[in-house]
Chain A
Amino acid sequence: MGYVAVKGGTFAIEESLKRIKYERVKQKKVLDVDKIESGMRGLVDQVMSESGLYSETLAALAIKQAEGNPEEAVFLLRAYRSTLPRKHYSKTVVSEQMLVERRISASFKDIPGGQILGASTDYSHRLLDFDLIGETEAAVSEWLHEFEHEAGAGEKSLNQDTDLTRLPKVLDYLRKEGLIANCPADDREPDDVTRKSLTFPASRSQKLQILTRGQTGAVTSLAYAVIRGYGATHPTVGELRVGQLPVYINNPLKPSEDEDEAYYIGDIKVTEVEMLMPATVEREKGRKELEFDIGYGLCYGQNETKAIAMSILDKNLEKGDQSIPTQNEEFVLYHIDSVESTGFISHLKMPHYVTFQSKLNDVRKTKQVQSEKAEGGVTYANPI
């Protein structure tokens, strides 16, 4: 039996689309996009990171349209980005230039520049704040005024010489000590999975690009599996940074090597994680030495759990033991993309009338054969 085209759903679909709008507005409240942008930073950052598109405003709009559903918001943004021309490639962004808003190390207490907590829920009590139900804009303005004019108990002399755009890296310190191997800069042009499909074995640039666009929950779960035993590593965060990175492009009309002739286009907020994992290295005559391996995580926005998880999977994928699921490139990289995984799973509810009909026929045929056999018949079913 061939495929049969059917129609008849148009009216129902139009009414269904009206219905989804009704669900969004039925309480006669309009959620302003700028309010989502200013008050739902966590969701905005997650959606930007998973869609691979940096724009707080577009992410907020997508969240409004998707009624706060991240997978739908990411789908909307990916679809929109596919309509836009890619005009330029940035000059290479280096994280040493970050204007740091938060910077911590779980490995060393005393890091040059210090542990800067910035904005974090890490030390909060997770008690539901019922006062927020009645929060007013006037009260918020008053709080902001007080916050901005707090007298400077914190402006101690020891902080005066800390430049937030020049904080030394923990890794550089370890490299100088010889505890991690130094490596030369690798200037090979990266692959781009948005232009050319992923191939195996995947290049490092493909792996990192897919991990950074990965669905937060999926990336986190697989990294958790690594630590629980599906992969052999116990990582410690060498350094975690959140901050603004400046982005520049070369002059497209008159390409120049002069750094000062570049165009600045703005800052992007990112989270970066450098993860340390002890590893045994074999030296001459079978002598074994303990060193640190480094896993790397970098993603749009303040997405700390995701960046940590990315760094774990990065190092884990480098090991490449195909028998361990989290070290198997195909297993990890093909299953963590939000649009691909949610798209495939949710398509299962779309009409499959013809394919299901054929399965139904097979089931009926088998049953019929079985009952004929039971009645002493001689017909055998073909293997299905």
Chain B
Amino acid sequence: MKRKQRTEILINGSAGLAAALAQEIKNRYQVTTIEEPNHGLVMVKVRETAQKSLFYLGEVFVTECKVQIEGCMGIGILKGDEPERAYDLAVIDAAYEARLKETAAWSVLLQAEADRIADERKAFAAKMLRTKVDFETMDTE
């Protein structure tokens, strides 16, 4: 599973999943912390739709962490003050970078979490669409 989808699932899904996957690696490998979880900013670049030009909307407060496993670097970064999850994400990222054998079995778990998130989104959409206006054309003389 590619990083984009993986990080979406691990951040939007339950914190327990990231913690469990990271724990597997921490139990079996030497994890060297390169950068302790720390706070910083990500500047958001957006494309406006009137003239399709770019501008900076503002910054997002993030927590970031870097670790190394078997000589491979992993980064954990997410919105908010989340030092533990940033560390877990960094460990998981490094595990994929180092192609550790444990990651092979994770696809199933990540897919299951993705399905759960999709179900949640579906329920959210169904609820949200109750506010969709159903226009009725009134009789005219």
Chain A residues close to B by CB (< 8 Å) = 48-49, 52-55, 57-58, 81, 84-95, 99-102, 109-110, 114-118, 148, 152-156, 158-159, 162-164, 169, 171, 183-190, 192, 194, 204-205, 208-209, 212-213, 246-249, 251-253, 258-268, 270, 272, 274, 294-296, 298-300, 314-315
Report chain B residues within 8 Å CB of A185: 47, 52
CB-defined contacts of A315 to chain B, threshold 8 Å: 50
Q: How far is the CA of A205 from the CA of B53 in the complex (A)?
A: 8
A265 to B60, Cβ gap below 8 A? yes
What distance in Å separates the Cβ of B69 from its nearest Cβ neighbour in chain A? 14
A185–B52 Cα distance when bound, in Å, is 5
**CA A192 – CA B54 in complex, angstroms?**
11
In contact, B7 and A264 (Cβ under 8 angstroms): yes
Residues of A within 8 A of B128 (CB): 100-101, 116, 118, 164
Contacts A57-B81, A155-B130, A164-B128 given; does A246 touch B8 at CB 8 Å: yes
From A249, A274, A314, B42 is in contact (CB under 8 Å) with A249
Q: In the complex, A279→B43 CA distance in Å? A: 34
CA distance A270 to B50 in the complex (A): 17
Chain A binding site: helix, strand, loop or mixed by DSSP? mixed
- Choice from A148, A186, A266, A298 contacting B46 with Cβ under 8 Å: A298
Instruction: Report B-chain residues with C-beta under 8 Å of the C-beta of A248.
Output: 4
- Interface residue stretch chosen among B21-29, B72-80, B102-110: B72-80
Do A261 and B3 touch (CB < 8 A)? yes
A222 to B57, CA, bound (A): 20
Known: A88-B43, A89-B45, A116-B131. A190 touches B56 (CB 8 A): yes
- Cα–Cα, bound, A263→B59 (Å): 16
Does chain A have a CB within 8 A of B112?
A: no
- Complex CA gap A308/B97 in Å reads 45
CB closest residue in chain B, given A252: B75
Report A-chain residues with C-beta under 8 Å of the C-beta of B3.
Answer: 251, 260-263
B73 contacts across to A, CB distance below 8 A: 253
CB-based contact A154/B129 at 8 Å: yes
Residues of B within 8 A of A102 (CB): 131
Whether the Cβ atoms of A154 and B53 lie closer than 8 Å is: no
- On whether the beta carbons of B48 and A208 are closer than 8 Å, the reply is yes
Asked if B51 and A186 sit within 8 Å, CB to CB, the answer is: yes
Find out whether the CB atom of B53 lies under 8 angstroms from the CB atom of A87.
Answer: no
Scan residues 52-66 of chain B and give those whose CB is less than 8 A from a CB of chain A.
52-62, 64
Question: Is the CB–CB distance between A208 and B129 below 8 Å?
Answer: no
* B74 to chain A: closest residue by CB: A253
A265 engages B48 (CB within 8 Å)? no
Q: Which of A87, A117, A274, A295 is most buried by chain B, counting CB atoms within 10 A of its CB? A: A87
Range class of the B interface residue count: 35 or more
> Chain B nearest CB: distance from A240 CB in Å?
13
> Contact: A154 with B130, CB < 8 Å?
yes
Is the pair A84, B40 in contact by a Cβ cutoff of 8 Å?
yes
Cβ-closest chain A residue relative to B44: A90
Kindly provide the distance from the CB of A27 to the nearest chain B CB, expressed in whole angstroms: 29
Which residues on B sit within 8 Å (CB–CB) of A92? 45-47, 54
- Docked Cα-Cα span, A9 to B56, in Å, equals 42
Q: Which residues of B contact A247 (CB under 8 A)?
A: 42, 44, 60, 79
- The answer, yes or no, to whether B138 is at the interface (CB within 8 Å) is no
Interchain Cβ contacts under 8 Å between A and B, 19 examples? A52-B59, A86-B59, A87-B77, A89-B42, A93-B57, A116-B128, A154-B126, A159-B129, A183-B51, A188-B53, A249-B77, A258-B2, A259-B4, A260-B2, A261-B2, A264-B11, A266-B79, A294-B49, A294-B50
Flag B1-17 by CB within 8 Å of A: 1 or 0 each: 01111011001100000
Cβ contacts under 8 Å, A187 to chain B:
54
Task: Check B101 for interface membership: any CB of A closer than 8 A.
Answer: no
Instruction: Write out the residue numbers on chain A whose beta carbons fall within 8 Å of the beta carbon of B8.
Output: 246, 264
- Contact bitstring B119-141, A, C-beta under 8 A = 1, else 0: 00100111111111111000000
**Interchain CA distance A41-B125 in the complex, whole Å:** 21
A291 to B4, CA, bound (A): 41
Min CB distance, B132 to chain A, in Å?
A: 5
Given contacts A90-B42, A247-B44, A263-B75, contact A213 B58 (CB under 8 A): yes
Q: Are A300 and B58 in contact (CB under 8 A)?
A: yes
**B55/A159 in contact, CB under 8 A:** no
Q: How far is the CB of B82 from chain A (nearest CB, A)?
A: 9
